[in-house]
């Protein structure tokens, strides 16, 4: 045997279809249907023809907000459809598939909105949806075959999470759990406010900056340690978690501008939120070096302490005032969905980390 044959060779990930993209495309399409048709109170006895919106004149007045939301909603769908079509259909054929699917889905949604008393179908919404689908497809086309086939993503996430797909899903969902407005930044698990209503503290005065600093620091330290337990020990955990925090801040700014307006997009970024992230990030560099058992205990302590503080301490009065600027508009059902994501993320994460600690060993 030649010496060259004995040398270890680098594993090459095959360029093949990405089932995750197809599942994600279907899931996102169902999400669009849910948000567009919720609460599904159809009234088919209105006497209005299903295609009446096609012949209706364009609205005399429209807002940039509504047009932007309709475009942005379909960009991820067009983007994912190009991935889902690879490798059988590529380039302009894949864009055609993204365009056709987006147009058909938007057409069906607008038609069904004819029988919803709270919705007004229009051609402008349909054209905005189609434009979003095209833009999403165009954003995906320049990516190389390693990305379109998912091999680059699989390789990256295999280095980070191995076969721990639950940790990967929690990692990807965390930024979305912060979209719904909350009194303290990164304060997931506001169950008392959503189920029973806030507690009346009367005239009690609490230092709101200190309160938000402590809650933010506890939440981020607990969440970061929890997610680190699902990563490989050799993964660059500090950089990965730092990137997650930056992505969470970016998504929060983007959706805050849609919820409250561009001038209020940074209203949530208070002194307490900034100091909490800084303190937690400094402590995290030390905490990541702890053993798995100590990280587990520290994570549970931080998250349970933060959950108690969030649900029993009074809301920031300035936060309550900012809710007056909250224009939900067409995002009302999306906000409801994001509220449930915010409520469910922490319980699911706690159940997973306890089960993972009991049954599994850390991955190397």
Instruction: Please compute the mean of the pLDDT values over residues 58-62 and round it to a whole number.
Output: 67
Q: How confident is the model at residue 12 (pLDDT cuts 50, 70, 90)?
A: low
DSSP alpha helix (H) spans, the chain: 3-6, 19-37, 52-55, 64-85, 91-112, 123-140, 145-148, 151-161, 165-173, 191-195, 208-228, 237-260, 271-287, 292-312, 317-322, 332-359
Whether the pLDDT of residue 128 is over 80: the answer is yes
| pLDDT score of 194 | 47
Show the tokens assigned to 71.
């475009």
Query: Rounded to whole angstroms, what are the CA distances from 36 to 119, 127, 196?
Result: 9, 15, 28
- Residue pair 227/164 in contact (Cβ under 8 Å)? The answer is no
Asked whether the predicted pLDDT for residue 40 surpasses 60, the reply is yes
- Is the confidence at residue 100, as pLDDT, over 80? yes
Lowest mean pLDDT across 23-37, 162-176, 306-320 = 306-320
* The predicted structure's pLDDT at residue 151: 61
Q: Is the pLDDT of residue 93 over 50?
A: yes
In the predicted structure, residue 159 carries a pLDDT above the cut 80: no
Highest mean pLDDT pick, 3-17, 31-45, 69-83, 179-193:
69-83
pLDDT value for 309: 78
Condensed to tens digits (0 to 9), the pLDDT of residues 330-353 reads 566 677 777 778 788 888 888 888
Give every CB contact of residue 261 below 8 A, 6+ residues apart in sequence: 325, 327
Mean pLDDT of 312-316: 70
Q: What is the mean pLDDT of the chain?
A: 77
b (16+ CB within 10 A) / e for 229-259: bbbbeebebeebbeebbeebbeebeebbbbb
* Per-residue pLDDT at 282: 92
SS3 321: helix
pLDDT of residue 199: 53
Number of residues in the chain? 364
Say what the pLDDT of residue 195 is: 47
* DSSP codes joined into one string, 210-232: HHHHHHHHHHHHHHHHHHHTTS-
Confidence of residue 328 (pLDDT cuts 50, 70, 90): low
Range ranked top by mean pLDDT from 130-144, 275-289, 306-320: 275-289
Average pLDDT (141-156) is 66
Handedness of CA 154, 158, 164, 167 (dihedral sign): negative
Going by the DSSP 8-state scheme, the letter that residue 338 receives in this structure is: H
Per-residue model confidence (pLDDT) at position 321 = 63
The more confidently predicted of residues 212 and 48 is 212
- Residues whose CB falls within 8 Å of the CB of residue 178, separated by 6 or more in sequence, listed in order: 185, 186, 188, 248, 251, 252, 342
Nearest to 187 by CA among 282, 252, 121, 266: 252
| pLDDT at residue 360, rounded to an integer | 60
> What confidence score (pLDDT) does residue 279 get?
92
Res 68 pLDDT > 70 = yes
What is the structure's pLDDT at 278? 92
Highest average pLDDT, of 12-21, 40-49, 213-222, 324-333, comes from 213-222
Q: Is the pTM of this model over 0.85?
A: no
Tell me the average pLDDT across 62-82: 81
| DSSP state letter for 116 | -
- Residue 218, CA atoms < 13 Å, CB-side half-sphere: 21
Q: Determine the distance from the C-alpha atom of residue 364 to the mean position of all C-alpha atoms in its chain, rounded to a whole number.
A: 28
| 275, pLDDT greater than 60 | yes
pLDDT in tens, 180-238: 877 777 877 665 554 445 555 555 546 678 888 888 899 899 889 988 888 888 888 88
Average pLDDT (149-171) is 73
**ω into residue 87 within 30 of 0, thus cis?**
yes
């Amino acid at each position: 045997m030649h010496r060259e044959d004995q040398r270890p060779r680098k594993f090459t990930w095959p360029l093949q279809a990405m089932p995750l993209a197809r599942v994600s495309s279907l899931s996102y399409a169902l999400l669009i249907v849910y948000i567009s048709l919720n609460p599904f109170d159809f009234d088919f006895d209105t006497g209005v023809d299903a295609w009446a919106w096609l012949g209706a004149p364009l609205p005399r007045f429209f807002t940039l907000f509504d047009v932007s939301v309709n475009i942005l909603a379909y960009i991820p769908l067009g983007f994912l459809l190009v991935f889902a079509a690879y490798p059988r259909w590529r380039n302009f054929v894949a864009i055609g598939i993204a365009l056709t699917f987006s147009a058909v889905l938007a057409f069906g949604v607008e038609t069904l909105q004819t029988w919803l008393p709270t919705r007004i179908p229009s051609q402008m919404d349909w054209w905005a949806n189609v434009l979003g689908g095209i833009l999403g497809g165009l954003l995906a086309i320049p990516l190389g075959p390693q990305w379109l086939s998912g091999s680059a993503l699989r390789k990256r996430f295999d280095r980070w999470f191995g076969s721990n797909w639950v940790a990967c899903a929690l990692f990807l969902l965390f930024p979305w759990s912060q979209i719904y407005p909350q009194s303290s930044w990164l304060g997931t698990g506001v169950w008392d406010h959503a189920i029973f209503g806030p507690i009346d503290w009367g005239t009690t005065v609490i230092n709101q900056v200190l309160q938000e600093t402590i809650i933010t620091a506890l939440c981020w330290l607990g969440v970061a340690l929890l997610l680190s337990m699902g990563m490989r020990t050799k993964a660059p955990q500090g950089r990965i978690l730092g990137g997650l925090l930056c992505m969470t801040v970016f998504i929060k700014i983007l959706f805050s501008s849609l919820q409250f307006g561009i001038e209020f997009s940074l209203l949530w970024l208070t002194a307490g939120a900034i100091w909490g992230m800084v303190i937690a990030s400094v402590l995290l560099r030390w905490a990541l070096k702890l053993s798995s058992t100590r990280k587990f205990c520290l994570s549970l302590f931080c998250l349970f302490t933060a959950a108690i503080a969030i649900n029993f301490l009074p809301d920031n009065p300035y936060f309550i005032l900012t809710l007056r600027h909250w224009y939900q508009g067409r995002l009302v059902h999306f906000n409801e969905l994001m509220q449930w994501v915010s409520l469910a993320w922490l319980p699911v994460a706690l159940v997973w980390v306890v089960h993972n600690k009991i049954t599994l060993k850390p991955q190397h």
